[in-house]
Every structure is written in C-alpha cells, then in structure tokens.
C-alpha cells in the first residue's frame, strides 16, 4: 500500500510541476521573440516590394522627364543604398543596425517623394496608365510598410515587456539570460514638424 501512495504522490507531483511550468511564462519569451522576428520579415518583405517597383517607376518617368536626371539618379542611388543594408532577425537587438536600415529606407522614401513631386510638372506623365498603375502600387506598398512597421513595433513591445515583467522576468534572468531587448523603429528626424506648403 505505501508503494501505491508513493507512486500516486510522485505522479501528482509531476502533474503539478508540469502545470506550474506550463503556466509560469517559460514559453512566453521564445513565443514573443518568434512573433517579433516574423513581423520583421513582413517589414522586410514590404520594403523589398517597394524596391522592386522602383526600376519600373524610374523607367516610366525617364521616358517623359529625361531632363530630371538628378532626381532620377537620387532615387536609383537611394534604392541601391537601401537594398545593400541587410538586417536579419539576429540583428534586431542592435539598435545601430536597425537605425542604419531605417535611415536608408527614409532616404529612399524622400527620394521617391521628390520623384513623385516632379511628375506633377508633366501632365502627359500624370495621365500615363503605366505611371498611374505604378504610383497606385507604390502608394499601396507605402501603406503596407506602415502596417508592417506598426505590427513589428507592437510585437517588439510585447517581447521587451516580457523580458522585464513578472513572471517572465524570472525566465529572462535565468533560462533566457542571453536575450536582449529588440530595437524598435523610431520616428524619422523632423517627422514631428509638419511640412511647409508654399503657394
């Protein structure tokens, strides 16, 4: 009889320990980390989509506005720089690498904005079906980039919070002590200032 009680106690102890471990947040940190990495992949995917649209857009504008070489060159150079900077999931804890990536993408955004502003000077270009389709795709991609960045920021916030709050902080200090907070996107310099409109 004592062996039966002993086995029952042992089994109950194992079940109890399993329930405690499963509900204590051990899986929270890796789960949130993987979600943040997946959201980063979405961000990269949308930036790549934009980069893929640019050669067609530049070619279309070039056909109508060849004299705007400096604007076209700026877009091509900004695209080249933006696509050279790679930040994979292992670099997400390095704020400097994420900032360099973000700065390169912001430079490309600015160059594209100047290109689209130049297109306003060419009525034939503005009415070109190919240009209109590319412009629409680019606008849609910019919206997707904004959504992907927001989702990434939310996922990083959840992960970084889990590293500092109870009960997951216990696991962050022990089993996952090598995990560092992930870098978030920050607002571009000057984003807080509204653009000046001149008439």
pLDDT at 194: 44
- Looking at the 3D structure of the chain, how many domains does it have? 1
Domain assignment present for 9? no
132/138 Cα distance (integer angstroms): 10
pLDDT at 14: 74
Mark the ranges of the chain whose per-residue pLDDT is less than 50. Answer: 192, 194-199
115/152 Cα distance (integer angstroms): 28
Q: Tell me, what CATH number does 93's domain have?
A: 1.20.1440.20
Question: CB burial class (10 A; 0-12, 13-18, 19+) of residue 148?
Answer: buried
189: alpha, beta or left? (left if phi > 0; alpha if psi -120 to 50): beta
Domain assignment present for 148? yes
pLDDT at 198: 38
Domain assignment present for 191? no
pLDDT at 120: 86
Domain assignment present for 149? yes
Domain assignment present for 138? yes
| Domain housing 58 | 35-173
Of the candidates 105, 111, 191, the residue with the CA atom closest to the CA atom of residue 149: 105
pLDDT at 51: 95
pTM: 0.81
Q: What are phi and psi of 49, to 5 degrees?
A: -60, -45
Secondary-structure breakdown of the chain: helix, strand, coil percentages, each rounded to the nearest 5:
75, 0, 25
């Amino acid at each position: 009889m004592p062996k039966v009680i002993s086995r029952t106690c042992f089994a109950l102890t194992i079940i109890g320990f399993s329930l405690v471990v499963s509900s204590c947040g051990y899986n929270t940190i890796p789960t949130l980390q993987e979600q943040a990495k997946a959201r980063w992949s979405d961000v990269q995917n949308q930036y790549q989509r934009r980069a893929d649209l640019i050669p067609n857009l530049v070619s279309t504008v070039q056909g109508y506005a060849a004299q705007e070489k400096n604007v076209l060159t700026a877009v091509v150079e900004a695209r080249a720089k933006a696509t050279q900077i790679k930040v994979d999931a292992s670099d997400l804890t390095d704020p400097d690498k994420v900032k360099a990536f973000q700065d390169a993408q912001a430079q490309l955004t600015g160059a594209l904005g100047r290109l689209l502003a130049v297109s306003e000077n060419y009525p034939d270009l503005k009415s070109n079906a190919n240009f209109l389709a590319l412009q629409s795709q680019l606008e849609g991609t910019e919206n997707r980039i904004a959504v992907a960045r927001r989702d990434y920021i939310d996922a990083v916030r959840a992960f970084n919070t889990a590293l500092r709050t109870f009960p997951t902080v216990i696991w962050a200090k022990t089993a996952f002590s090598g995990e560092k907070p992930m870098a978030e996107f920050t607002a571009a310099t000057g984003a807080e200032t509204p653009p000046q409109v001149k008439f």
